[in-house]
Amino acid sequence: MASIPPTKWVFTQHHQRILEGKECLAGLHGRGVCAGKIVRAHIIPRSQLLQIATRGRVHAVPTRLSAVMQMQHSAFETRDIGAREFSVLNCFCARHDKALFAPLEDRPLTFSPEQLTLLHYRAIAAEAYQRRNQEESAAAVCRAYKSNDPRRDRFYWIFHTNSLAAEAAEEALKATESILEEAQYQRIRFFIARFNAEPVLLSVGAFRPRYDVNGNEIQDLMVDGVYVASHVLIADNKPALLVTWLRGQNPAEQFAKSFAAQPKERLTTLAIQTAFEYAENTCMKREWWLSLNGTKRRALLKRVQNANSLSYRRPAKCLAFRSDLDDWNFDKLEFAH
């Protein structure tokens, strides 16, 4: 097994400590006074996780940074993770986590306008939290080197790119908070693809697409900062793919339109590829994962490995159709843009 360079371990260990720090994002822009301790908030609703769990555990690639870093130097692999431990971040106080997300945790998922907005909000909040922490971690490593030390360059690049992403995510978070406060839910745009199959996978992630599904460049990530959020959830005991974005953001709408316009028999494969390519919070039933042949599993794990690499640059056709990954039996599509 290849050893991990000491500078990467410094970054990893510092970043993990920051991730274990606690801050309520819901209190940043005046959504009422925070109360109670900072809780480990689920980004994927726990009620959803339990629907695919086996004996309280889901199957996934570990998301703890130290485990990811170790796998970069050996091999990416999946394992069983407790549903209580998966997709949790220390980014909401007890008051906001309970009151704000009650419509998601305490009610059936119907994709009501309020639920759609809350789903988008939580995905963006997780992205803002992660990006700002990565920025702070890289800055701490940069400060350990003189400005002319070449070892500093990589971490300065991490600092700079995450600073841009964090700023864009926080702007999107602030805009979504305004939508919630004013109940102007029509400002959240979306499409929902529904399927007729047994749910086997859950995923939530917010990302800035550089390309649409057809490989056309839609934004410059060093200049623009338009986010979309992708969700694979369970509604009426069946899988549903949801993509959300803020009204008026043309790159996000172009990405969504190119996705929704693909042949319907490809939407399952696209949903799975997007989950492994872009969303850190992706888990599945162990039986489903093992039912895929080794080539397909390796291809999906390669997507996760690339996404966690400091040197990876996504190609224009990162979402491709070399083989079908599954068929969830497409039912219908709802598009609001």
pLDDT tens figures, 67-92: 444 545 456 788 999 998 888 877 67
| Per-chain mean pLDDT for the chain | 84
pTM for the whole structure = 0.87
Mean pLDDT score, 136-164? 81
Confidence tier at 95 by pLDDT (50, 70, 90) = low
Residue-wise pLDDT tens digits, 243-298? 999 999 999 999 999 999 999 999 999 999 999 999 889 999 999 999 999 999 99
Amino acid at 321: F
pLDDT of residue 1: 37
pLDDT of residue 172: 95
Question: Structure tokens of 318?
Answer: 């990162």
Residue ranges per structural domain of the chain: 6-336
Q: Is 62 exposed, middle or buried (0-12, 13-18, 19+ CB in 10 A)?
A: middle
Long-range contacts of 57-63 (CB under 8 A, 24+ apart): 57/81, 57/82, 57/83, 58/83, 58/86, 58/202, 58/283, 58/284, 58/285, 59/283, 59/284, 59/285, 59/286, 59/289, 60/86, 60/282, 60/283, 60/284, 61/282, 61/301, 61/304, 63/87, 63/280, 63/281
Instruction: Check pLDDT > 80 for residue 325.
Output: yes
Which is more confidently placed, 62 or 52? 52
pLDDT of residue 261: 95
Residue-wise pLDDT tens digits, 19-56? 555 567 775 555 566 766 666 777 898 889 999 999 99
pLDDT of residue 61: 83
